[in-house]
Amino acid sequence: MDRLVQTRTVKWGDCDPAGILYTPRVFDYITEAVEAWFGAIGGIPWMELIAAGQGAPTVHTAVDFRTPMEPGLRLNVSVLLEKLGGSSLGFRVLGDGEDGTRYFEGKLVSVTTDFATRRSIPIPAELRSRAEAYAAVHSAD
């Protein structure tokens, strides 16, 4: 099973007046990578989960910036599984340049939720099985 990696290019519109990535945009990069993980690795596309009345909303996120990101930078945004709880999935998301430079390290915790009751639910069996298999190969360093 391959590590989920999304390639992005920092756009001019992603940047602040100083010409570096505007801080909140990195959370979009992180969230979009985790959303892709649910579909590609978890086997449950984000929107299908929501259409079924469930979801995995974010309950915690954090980021450490290592190096400024400028327009035109190509990033490989990769997703590791750091923790698998009863209803929570803890992701570590890395933003690396093509030369291996680490630009950011993020964390995002999602909790599987029943939208009707607004309560957490156990991670669905298929998602748990796929997450365990992914973590066995791509756990957080």
Nearest to 14 by CA among 73, 58, 59: 73
Per-residue pLDDT reduced to its tens digit, 26-44: 999 999 999 999 999 999 8
Range of the domain at 132: 4-138
CATH number at residue 29: 3.10.129.10
Residue 140 pLDDT exceeds 70: no
pLDDT of 141 reads: 57
Angle CA(107)–CA(109)–CA(111) in degrees, nearest 5? Answer: 170
In angstroms, the CA 48 to CA 52 distance is 6
Task: Name the residue with higher pLDDT: 49 or 28.
Answer: 28
Number of separate domains in the chain:
1
Per-residue pLDDT reduced to its tens digit, 87-124: 999 999 999 999 999 999 999 999 999 999 999 999 99
The answer to whether 114 and 52 have CB atoms below 8 angstroms apart is no
